[in-house]
Structure formats: structure tokens, C-alpha cells
């Protein structure tokens, strides 16, 4: 699907979807237990992949008709060996979390995904599984899917890099709680995307799992049971998705009007840093923590410098804001953002460039020269990446002329009703 966005002014109220990161973890945590209900889950292409994995491991997921409740009958600690290959589609979070889970099984599980997912690095996690007395192999011996995992991982001490993906640590912590020995994780390098591990630790505590942060890394005792209070867990709103609505208000709110974003309850999400980024660039943002509401109005933005070491998913949004702002916006510490659904550093450099942005791309830095940029409508490639699609759509609100984003259906990964939400705020959106 292609979507064409015309220059628009926006105003009104919109609700961001529930957090994808929390939903993935909540579904699998319920699967590790006996039974639990996940309230207000994000139902998207990615989280459905995690639901299918739980079903494949012997659990049973049942989504209510209005998608507000997901009841999970879990596999109670140890997964069954699936009857077939587990296809994680485009979901890197699913594959990494499920890799450690599958390693607990007595037999072997084969994990695969689409072309993009089969190009993403899994090697350090496979090596960790092997060190913990399980089996973890890449069929092509290149550290990429398809993967073969299993043989009853028992736990122990493992050393793993922290600067490739925080999802490796999340996967091991979640699986470690039900191993015989528990798992002690020693980080070989500085942990990037650390707030995502904070999300994991917060959620594990809500499910009754004890963890410890150590001088070397993290530790989780074995023999524990997943059991949230009252048998329920509620998913908070997603700040990665909130970032697009906040950016839309900051660059395109109608004169004298505001955009109010609902569902912005404070949590451990590192991507809540977008609130400070937008403020630093000059937008007027008010955050009512109790109501979980952000209010933003349009402003003349100025360039800033942002380190995305802990917030990689914000890079596309910040790059778009930089293309609208005066002066340079410098996005630092972003090499790891190249290993997402696509190389997001290069994707934003090239696609904003098609719209007239002047951009300097370096291996670990992206500079958007907003003062030398006048955005013009163009046909841009969404790169099969939901975050690229949504960020370019926001740019289209203020570009001169129509902007057509190809592959726009990929918003289903994290924000299925994104374009409907934008249209409800007044954006001119046409599908073809």
C-alpha cells in the first residue's frame, strides 16, 4: 500500500497504541507461567508473532473480540517442542526472546523469519545459549536465522556483549528465571539501549520474578514462577509511537491549536526522552502525568544534539524534526540503529534527501542540516520498516507538495491505525 500525504495542519486528541515492547514481554511472561491475562495489549503483526510462538510451545492465547484482553494459558515453565517451524515474520523481538525460550526445550526448535529478519545478527545470543548448556546454531553458520535451538538449557554464568542488542539480555533474563541454575549475565561491553532492559526488569517484578543488577551485569535466580498479582498485567502506552504524534503537533499544529496525546503514562520506557528532545528544540509541551496526557503546539524548532545510544527507535522521528528545524540536528551514538528492520541511519539519510533535506551520514552519527533544507514532496520508500514509514509521513505534513510513502502497510507492526489517527487530527491522507 502507498499513502500520499498532502501539506496539512493538525489539531485535536489522539491516543497512542499500547507499548509493543511491553506487550511482547507480557505475552511471553504469561506463557512462562500457568495462566495470566494481559490487559490492553498491542495487537499488531509483531505481537501476533509472539502469540503464535507461545501457542507453538504448548500455551494457548485467546484474544477478546474487542482486543482489550489476551488470556494466556501458559506452558508453565518449560516449552514443548513445536510441531513445526516457528516463523517470527519481521519481528526481531519475537525471535530473540523466543530463542532463549526454545533453548529450554528438551528437543530442537527451528526459528525463521522474513528476508529482513534473516539478515539480522543473532550470533551472540546463540553463543550464550551454548555456554549455558543448550544448543544454539545458525543453519547457515553466519549467526543469522534460520536458527536451531534447544537441548534443555540449564543456566549458569555467561558473558555477552551489551552493545549489539539489549534484547539478548532480556531473552536470557526471562528464560533464566525458570532454569535449574538461574543465569548470571556478565556484560563484555557497555550496555546500549539500557532502558529496554529496565522495561524487562520492571515487567519481571510485576510478574513476581526476582532479579538483581550486579557490578558485572545482571542475575536472575532459577526455579521461579511467573505469576502477576491478581493474575493480570496491564500494558502502558507506547512512547515510540507517541513520538510521531508529538512530532506532528510540534511541526504542524494549526495556529492557536494543540494536539493532545493520550496514553502517555510514565513508565520505564527510554523513548519517553522524546518529550525532552521536542522541548529542547523549542516546542511547548505539557505533560500531565496523572492523566497520562501530553499537550503540544506548533513552534519554530531549532537544531539540537541527541545521543540515541539508549533510544535507538527515536532516530527516525528526531531526523524528521531536524529536517524542519533551523540549524543542525546531530544524532550521535547511532551505529546500532543500522541493525533494525532496516539500516535506519542510511534509510533516513537517503529518504529525507529525496525530499530535499541536506544530510551528512557517518557510521555512528547522522547530521541533518535543517537550516539548508526546504522539504519538498516526493515519492519515498518506507523500506519495509514501520518507523521509517511513520516518520516520513510526519515530514509530509510540512513538505511543499504531495509526499507518497511506499510500503505504508508496515505500520501494522506497531501502530496499525496510524493513518486513521493522523486523518482524525486533520492530516490529508490518501491510500492507493
Helix (H) / strand (E) containing 293 = strand 293-297
Whole-angstrom CA distances from 31 to 71, 301, 312 are 10, 45, 28
Cell numbers given for 26: 507480557
Task: Tell me: do 80 and 106 sit in the same domain.
Answer: yes
User: Active-site residue 80, yes or no?
Assistant: no
pLDDT score, position 22: 96
CA 150 to chain centre: 26
Q: Which positions of the chain have pLDDT values less than 70?
A: none
Task: Tell me: do 221 and 268 sit in the same domain.
Answer: no
Residue of 175, 199, 173 lying closest to 184 (CA atoms): 173
pLDDT score, position 399: 98
pLDDT digits (tens, 9 = 90+) for 5-35: 999 999 999 998 999 999 999 999 999 999 9
pLDDT score, position 16: 87
Task: Tell me: do 197 and 69 sit in the same domain.
Answer: yes
Cα–Cα distance for residue pair 44/418, rounded to 1 Å: 12
Cα–Cα distance for residue pair 176/180, rounded to 1 Å: 8
Output the known binding site for 3-phosphoshikimate.
20-21, 25, 165-167, 193, 313, 340
Task: Tell me: do 211 and 257 sit in the same domain.
Answer: no
Examine the fold and report which residue of 213, 234, 255 is the final residue of a domain before the chain moves on.
Answer: 234
Residue-number span of the structural domain to which 88 is assigned: 20-234
Output the known binding site for phosphoenolpyruvate.
20, 92, 120, 167, 344, 387
Task: Tell me: do 287 and 204 sit in the same domain.
Answer: no
Number of domains in the chain: 2
Burial classification of residue 365, based on how many CB atoms lie within 10 Å of its CB (0-12 exposed, 13-18 middle, 19 or more buried): middle
Task: Tell me: do 170 and 283 sit in the same domain.
Answer: no
> Which residues face 381 on adjacent strands?
406
Task: Tell me: do 116 and 31 sit in the same domain.
Answer: yes
Task: Tell me: do 304 and 182 sit in the same domain.
Answer: no
Task: Tell me: do 138 and 45 sit in the same domain.
Answer: yes
pLDDT digits (tens, 9 = 90+) for 91-103: 999 999 999 999 9
Examine the fold and report which residue of 234, 259, 287 is the final residue of a domain before the chain moves on.
Answer: 234
Task: Tell me: do 142 and 281 sit in the same domain.
Answer: no
pLDDT score, position 121: 93
Catalytic residue of the set 238, 313, 328, 412: 313
Examine the fold and report which residue of 202, 217, 234 is the final residue of a domain before the chain moves on.
Answer: 234
Task: Tell me: do 375 and 246 sit in the same domain.
Answer: yes
- Supply the CATH number for residue 156's domain: 3.65.10.10
Cα–Cα distance for residue pair 52/10, rounded to 1 Å: 38
Task: Tell me: do 262 and 173 sit in the same domain.
Answer: no
Cα–Cα distance for residue pair 67/191, rounded to 1 Å: 35
pLDDT score, position 192: 86
Alpha-helix runs per DSSP H in 295-408:
315-324, 344-354, 386-396
Amino acid at each position: 500500500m502507498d499513502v500520499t500525504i498532502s501539506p496539512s495542519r493538525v489539531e485535536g486528541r489522539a491516543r497512542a497504541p499500547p507499548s509493543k515492547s511491553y506487550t511482547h514481554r507480557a505475552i511471553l511472561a504469561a506463557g512462562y507461567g500457568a495462566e495470566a491475562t494481559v490487559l490492553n495489549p498491542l495487537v499488531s503483526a509483531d505481537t501476533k508473532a509472539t502469540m503464535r510462538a507461545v501457542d507453538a510451545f504448548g500455551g494457548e492465547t485467546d484474544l477478546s473480540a474487542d482486543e482489550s484482553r489476551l488470556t494466556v494459558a501458559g506452558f508453565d515453565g518449560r516449552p514443548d517442542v513445536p510441531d513445526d517451524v516457528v516463523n517470527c515474520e519481521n519481528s526481531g523481538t519475537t525471535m530473540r526472546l523466543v530463542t532463549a525460550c526454545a533453548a529450554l526445550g528438551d528437543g530442537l526448535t527451528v526459528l525463521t523469519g522474513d528476508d529482513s529478519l534473516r539478515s539480522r545478527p543473532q550470533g551472540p545470543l546463540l553463543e550464550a545459549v551454548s555456554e549455558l548448556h543448550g544448543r544454539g546454531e545458525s543453519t547457515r553458520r553466519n549467526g543469522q536465522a534460520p536458527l536451531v535451538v534447544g537441548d534443555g538449557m540449564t543456566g549458569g554464568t555467561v558473558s555477552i556483549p551489551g552493545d549489539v542488542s539489549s534484547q539478548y539480555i532480556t531473552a536470557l533474563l526471562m528464560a533464566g528465571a525458570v532454569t535449574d541454575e538461574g543465569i548470571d549475565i556478565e556484560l563484555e561491553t557497555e550496555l546500549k539501549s539500557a532502558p529496554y532492559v529496565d522495561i524487562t526488569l520492571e515487567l519481571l517484578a510485576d510478574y513476581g520474578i526476582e532479579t538483581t543488577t550486579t557490578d558485572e551485569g545482571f542475575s536472575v535466580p532459577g526455579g521461579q514462577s511467573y505469576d502477576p498479582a491478581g493474575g493480570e498485567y496491564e500494558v502502558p502506552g507506547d512512547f515510540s509511537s507517541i513520538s510521531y504524534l508529538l512530532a506532528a503537533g510540534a511541526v504542524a499544529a494549526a495556529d492557536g491549536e494543540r494536539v493532545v496525546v493520550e496514553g502517555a503514562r510514565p513508565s520505564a520506557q527510554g523513548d519517553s526522552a522524546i518529550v525532552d528532545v521536542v522541548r529542547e528544540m523549542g516546542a511547548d509541551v505539557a505533560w500531565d502525568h496523572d492523566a497520562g496526557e501530553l499537550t503540544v503546539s506548533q513552534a519554530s524548532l531549532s537544531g539540537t544534539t541527541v545521543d540515541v545510544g539508549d533510544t535507538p527507535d527515536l532516530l527516525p522521528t528526531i531526523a524528521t524534526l531536524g529536517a524542519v528545524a533551523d540549524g543542525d540536528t546531530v544524532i550521535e551514538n547511532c551505529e546500532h540503529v543500522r541493525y533494525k528492520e532496516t539500516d535506519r541511519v542510511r534509510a533516513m539519510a537517503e529518504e529525507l534527501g529525496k525530499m530535499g533535506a541536506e544530510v551528512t551520514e557517518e557510521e555512528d552519527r547522522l547530521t541533518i542540516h535543517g537550516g539548508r533544507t526546504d522539504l519538498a514532496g516526493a515519492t519515498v520508500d518506507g523500506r519495509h520498516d514501520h518507523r521509517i514509514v511513520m516518520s516520513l509521513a510526519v515530514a509530509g505534513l510540512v513538505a511543499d507538495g504531495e509526499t507518497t510513502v511506499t510500503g505504508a502497510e508496515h505500520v501494522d507492526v506497531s501502530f496499525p491505525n496510524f493513518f486513521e489517527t493522523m486523518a482524525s487530527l486533520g492530516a490529508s491522507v490518501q491510500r492507493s
